[in-house]
Structure 1
Amino acid sequence: MSRFKPTKHSSILEITGSKSDLLSGKRIVIGMTGSVAVLEIVNLARLLMRNGAEIFVVMSSAARELIQPDLVEWAVGNPVITKLTGQIEHVHLCGQHPDKADLLLIAPSTANTIGKIAQGIDDTPVTTFATTAFGTGIPIAIVPAMHGTMYDNPMVIKNIKQLKDVGVTFIGPRIEEGKAKIAKNDEILETIIGMLSKNDLAKKKVVVTAGPTRIWIDEVRFISNPSTGRMGIEIAKEAASRGAEVTLILGPTNLPINNPTIKVESIETPQDIIEVINKQKKIDLFISAAAIGDYQPEKQKGKIPSRKESLTLKLEPTQKIIAHVKQKFPKARIVGFKAEVKATKSELIEKAQRSLKDYQIDMVVANFLDKPDQGFESKTNEVILIKKNDNITDLPLSSKRVIAEKIIDEFFSFN
């Protein structure tokens, strides 16, 4: 039995789980190698910790020339492994051991390290961890970072393919300024969440709408709302992390998706949403989280003169998206949203129940738009889930990603 005994200190106690529990209970080993992108890993490690993970770090000698192990130890709260000792750290964390890690994340990874792992060469602490993880079956993710010419080297391409063929996940890189830059931390986080999450939506087709729509008055003016699409984006990411094939129908927003497995269909108008839905061959779960315009005028040609004393617009109802989905995909399960202002909780629930009945859907997510830290433009939300079996569940104020996880958990708890 290994004598390697990490000890917790304040870095772990202060920040672990402060953002979410999506990685709660997960132990991740980060293998740091000699790319200048190693400077990004302190922030990455702490992001993983804030989402619940416990982090251990093993460093190559080249990595130690770029960043001091003492700084890394401060960041992650566990002793940093710079050489293998009689405590057989690689066996403790990546072998058949009760305390073994859930994931080996090699970030950043140089072309040299990729080549060594692909050929079974084991001459640094990081490559020894990889060899051990392969033998144990621990998932391995590699985050490349190098010059573009190195990444385009046919031998590097061959080595990456060889590792992918045996189950290694590659995250990134971003091709910018002639370099294969390390993937952004949020993309790495999303990939890791997907690798370590339950795969309960595998083979399911999930379509999510998110963001605002634009109702055009003329060729330069439109009616819209302040939705950023964050709630729907987080639902799409949660579904993707659980193995679903996800299409995100997304209105105008500046928010990044950070998950390349999600197919994004950019739209502007409610009719655009209808057209994207019509292209789908299958929908198992439809989640209507977009803030869709309910009324539209007849669009005027050109630009309405700006000096008119008054302007009257006749608005007609737009086509109901949920009704269209039910007609086209009668077996699809559907989650709707109901947002209100200046309403009591009982009034909000009553309106949500009416939507359930009117549209014959499975669940409604209800929330207020005029409460602090809720609704449009906020990173958090507090919602009420009203289900077709008359069960009502309150979800307290949490990050929208945590709310997304709970929405899907609760939906499948009664379906």
Structure 2
Amino acid sequence: MHSSKHIIGSKNNELSGKKICLCITGSVAAVRSVELARELMRRGAEVFCVMSEAASRLIGPDLMHWATGNPVVCGLTGECEHISLCGEVPEKVDAVLIAPCTANTIGKIACGIDDTSVTTVASTALGSKIPIIVVPAMHASIYANPFVAENIGRLKKNGIIVVEPHISDGKAKLPETGEIVDECVRATRTHDLEGAKVLVTAGATREFIDDIRFISNPGTGRMGIAIAREAWLRGADVTVVAGHVEIPIPRYLNAVYVESVHEMFNEVKKRAPEVDIVVLSASAGDFVVEKRFGGKACSERKICLELTPAPKISNEIKKWNPKAKLILFKAESGVGDAELLHIAKKKMEECAADLIVANDVKREGAGFGSETNEVLLIQKDGRTEKMRALKTEIAKKAIEYVLVGLHGFAVGR
């Protein structure tokens, strides 16, 4: 085995057993190809690289051979490389990623022209119904060309996934590497939530005392974003209503930002009647400031704050949408498993939830901001599972429990 392949699966197994054909065209963004290939591999994929002649003038094929551990295709030969990669053969790849993709290559694919190694691979993959992900990279003025936009529209119409570039400095640039790889993960996953609309709350709300100071909590949004991402990977249309979050929300998730618990309440109320699944994972405040000071309150004298209970979003979901599947998250502090289970079940009954995920934030590796958590997953019928894992793995488990409950439940009404 090539020494470069030792990194395969070192980060996670999201792409374990998957083969990805990474096609590189003649954009200067090709300098990010090594980073992209290695991230695909770290998530478990075997990567095979195909380069256009223009791309091979920007970065050497030997570099990509080293990066992937596999020979690089720079031109088609009697070996019929396009067929072995993307033809109707048992060992064909699971997805084709064209990144960066120039306007020239976009136009050729849109018109069925396959006169380069990359366009012939794309043509073959389309015929074999292999998912294709295209990531444009070019000057912004070229990207704004109406003919280029029309060609991109034709790609989308024919089922090709187009990842929108990041526009800055007059350039249409490749998005973050993680976002591109997430698109590959989604393209190779089973879409068991296809057509479902999912609403997720995430992050911490803030209740301002004056124009500067506020009451909040240490919620980071990590768990909510993980579960929103998992639902998206499974094909769902996901909206995140987010308070303060400390990690970026991926562009592929529809994000609505709020500040106070009242704002979060109103945004969820507006959207809940139209969704199939509601996940309340935000650290929404339990109290609101009765009377907010104007300007900045003087710090040299004692002040008295009156706090009143905040409205409970969880108590209203089934009133707004009785058919929605409801996942709750319940955080406690300094309690044992028996008490945590008792508190969670009581909350579950009050809200008619379908699943509740409960945790004690005092436990090591299970508090706010941690990448891991220790939780009790409690189903509607009382079955309970204790789990200590990465929050991404807990997100998968929570979605899987809800999928079981979706038997006979029509999504995408």
Pick the TM interval, shorter chain. Answer: over 0.9
* 2:275 aligned residue: 283
Distance, in Å, in 1 between the alignment partners of 2:183 and 2:77 is 32
**Aligned residue runs from structure 1 range 61-80, under 5 A:** 61-80=53-72
Q: 1:21 to 1:382 in 2, by over 3 A?
A: farther
* 1:306 aligned residue: 299
* 1:152 aligned residue: 144
Post-superposition Cα deviations, 1:350-395, rounded to whole Å, max 9, x if no partner, equal 3222222232211111223233433322233333211111111233
Distance, in Å, in 1 between the alignment partners of 2:186 and 2:230 is 8
Distance, in Å, in 2 between the alignment partners of 1:240 and 1:128 is 30
Aligned residues: 404
Distance, in Å, in 1 between the alignment partners of 2:291 and 2:44 is 50
Q: Identical aligned pairs, as a percentage?
A: 46
Post-superposition Cα deviations, 1:200-242, rounded to whole Å, max 9, x if no partner, equal 1122221110000112223322110121111101211211222
**Aligned residue runs from structure 1 range 100-139, under 5 A:** 100-139=92-131
Match for residue 411 of structure 1 among 402, 405, 411: 402
1:219 lines up with 2:222 in the alignment? no
1:246 lines up with 2:238 in the alignment? yes
1:345 lines up with 2:350 in the alignment? no
Distance, in Å, in 1 between the alignment partners of 2:393 and 2:38 is 18
Could you tell me which amino acid in structure 2 is paired with residue 191 of structure 1? Answer: E
1:293 lines up with 2:285 in the alignment? yes
Q: 1:356 to 1:172 in 2, by over 3 A?
A: same
Distance, in Å, in 2 between the alignment partners of 1:381 and 1:75 is 34
SS in 2 for 1:186: helix
Could you tell me which amino acid in structure 1 is paired with residue 175 of structure 2? Answer: A
* 1:88 aligned residue: 80
SS in 1 for 2:385: strand
SS in 2 for 1:65: helix
Bigger mean CA offset, 329-338 vs 111-120:
111-120
Distance, in Å, in 2 between the alignment partners of 1:20 and 1:349 is 31
1:201 lines up with 2:218 in the alignment? no
* 2:3 aligned residue: 10
* 1:4 aligned residue: none
Distance, in Å, in 2 between the alignment partners of 1:164 and 1:221 is 47
Q: 1:193 to 1:228 in 2, by over 3 A?
A: same
The Cα of 1:68 is off from its aligned counterpart by 2.1
Post-superposition Cα deviations, 1:389-414, rounded to whole Å, max 9, x if no partner, equal 1111233322x323222210122234
Distance, in Å, in 2 between the alignment partners of 1:242 and 1:259 is 16
Distance, in Å, in 2 between the alignment partners of 1:285 and 1:149 is 41
Post-superposition Cα deviations, 1:314-371, rounded to whole Å, max 9, x if no partner, equal 3221111111112211222211112233222333223222222232211111223233
* 2:387 aligned residue: 395
Q: Is the 2:202–2:241 contact (alpha carbons within 8 Å) kept by the matching residues of 1?
A: yes
Q: 1:355 to 1:228 in 2, by over 3 A?
A: same
Q: Is the 1:186–1:258 contact (alpha carbons within 8 Å) kept by the matching residues of 2?
A: no
The Cα of 1:124 is off from its aligned counterpart by 1.7
SS in 1 for 2:274: coil
Distance, in Å, in 2 between the alignment partners of 1:160 and 1:360 is 45
The Cα of 1:143 is off from its aligned counterpart by 0.7
Distance, in Å, in 2 between the alignment partners of 1:125 and 1:395 is 48
Q: 1:118 to 1:297 in 2, by over 3 A?
A: closer
Distance, in Å, in 1 between the alignment partners of 2:235 and 2:126 is 23
SS in 1 for 2:100: strand
Unaligned runs of 5+ in 2: 407-413
Q: Is the 1:20–1:402 contact (alpha carbons within 8 Å) kept by the matching residues of 2?
A: no
The Cα of 1:127 is off from its aligned counterpart by 1.3
Unaligned runs of 5+ in 1: 1-7
Q: Is the 2:374–2:387 contact (alpha carbons within 8 Å) kept by the matching residues of 1?
A: yes
Q: 1:405 to 1:10 in 2, by over 3 A?
A: farther
Calculate the TM-score normalised by the size of structure 1: 0.92
1:326 lines up with 2:329 in the alignment? no
Distance, in Å, in 2 between the alignment partners of 1:346 and 1:86 is 68
1:228 lines up with 2:214 in the alignment? no
Could you tell me which amino acid in structure 1 is paired with residue 84 of structure 2? Answer: H
Q: CA RMSD in A?
A: 1.9
Distance, in Å, in 2 between the alignment partners of 1:120 and 1:194 is 25
Distance, in Å, in 1 between the alignment partners of 2:25 and 2:280 is 44
SS in 1 for 2:316: helix
Q: 1:348 to 1:76 in 2, by over 3 A?
A: farther
Q: 1:314 to 1:153 in 2, by over 3 A?
A: closer
1:374 lines up with 2:366 in the alignment? yes
Distance, in Å, in 2 between the alignment partners of 1:52 and 1:313 is 53
Q: Is the 1:32–1:109 contact (alpha carbons within 8 Å) kept by the matching residues of 2?
A: yes
Bigger mean CA offset, 285-294 vs 47-56:
47-56
Post-superposition Cα deviations, 1:24-72, rounded to whole Å, max 9, x if no partner, equal 2221101011111111121112222222222111111221222222222
